[in-house]
Amino acid sequence: MSEVLRAEGLSKRFTGIKANENVSFSMEAGSIRAIIGPNGAGKTTFLSMISGHLPPTTGKIFHKGQDVTRMDVVKRARRGILRKFQTPSVFDELSVYENLEIAVLGTNRAADPRPARIRSVLETVRLADRPDALCKHLSHGQRQWLEIGLLLGRNADLLLLDEPTAGMTAEETAATASLIKELTKDHTLSVIVIEHDIDFIRDLEAPVMVLHLGEVLTEGSFDSVANDQRVRDVYLGT
């Protein structure tokens, strides 16, 4: 399998604060990776360096073998690295369908016309029955899904999801886990997820990286991480 993303020794220092220190990371195309850690562990900072919203102080980022460390957000997004923000960032005043109409602009594929793609994205993110609803009238969970839908409407290759289940009910959270697994089913799309919800992370059945005080504490399967005494000490609190 090919590697979709590799980060080498990423550090990010704000004046006096080490948000990330020497974080190295790699993942295969078509896989899911979960990142957990207590508040202030540097999870969102790490994601921002991958998406291009923050330049790393040191270190390098490779997307499908190419160095993207110096590329801005727009260039990385065009390569397929697309980010969902912590608070849903959608077009609130527009309808669900109009949201996706914007997302698919400029992503012409002869074999797959845009209206058909909008429909299939709507089905994937479970909004097929509400295309005309104004986005601001959706529930918080549905807006989270719509934002994932916006990323899918682009030519997405790697999704960066920052707390995708924040504000969701238990059922919605479970549905989101199966949605993410669905997305990577045919092994073309890769997903990095940041989350707090431990049940959700377990449902993802994916390798987990634990960040603590900006550094990698440990990495491994959910069970090995959940049974790691250091992780329990700093994070799970049991």
Partner 1 sequence: MTQDLVSQKVKSVSGRLSVPSGEPALAVVLFAILALIPVVAGGYIVYVLPQYMIFGVLALSLGLLWGYVGILSFGQAAFFAVGAYVTGIVMGADFGINPVYLAVLAATGAGCLVAAIAGYFLFSAGVRATYFVLVTLALSIMAEQIAVSQSQITGGWNGMYVNRPELPFGPIGSLSLGGDYVMYYVVLPLVALAYFIVRWLMAARFGKVLVGVRENEDRMIALGFGVPFYKTAAFALSGAVAGFAGALYALHSSFVSPSLGGVLFSTEVVVWVAIGGRLSLLGALVGGIIVASLSNYLSAVAPDTWQLMLGVLFIIVIVFFKRGLAGAVSDGVRLLTAQRGQTNE
> Contact region for partner 1 (CB under 8 A) — 95-103, 190-198, 212-220, 221-229?
95-103
Nearer to partner 1 by Cβ, of 62 and 85: the residue is: 85
Distance CA 225, CA 218 (A): 7
Q: Does 101 bind partner 1 (CB under 8 A)?
A: yes
**Would you say 193 and 165 are in contact if contact means Cβ atoms under 8 Å apart?**
no
Q: Which of 11, 44, 51, 142 binds partner 1 (CB under 8 A)?
A: 51
| Residue 130 lies near partner 1 (rule: CB under 8 A) | yes
Beta carbon nearer to partner 1, 27 or 103? 103
Pick the closest to residue 183 from 233, 123, 111 (CA basis).
123
| Sheet containing 190-194, strands listed edge to edge, beginning at the edge strand earlier in sequence | 81-84, 158-162, 190-194, 32-36, 208-212, 215-220
Residue from 71, 134, 174, 175 in contact with partner 1 (CB under 8 A): 134
> Residue 60 or 154: which CB sits closer to partner 1?
154
* Closest to partner 1 by CB, 163 or 197: 163
| Residue 73 engages partner 1 in binding (rule: CB under 8 A) | yes
Map tokens 């997302």 to a residue. 103
Alpha-carbon distance of 12 to 144, in angstroms, equals: 28
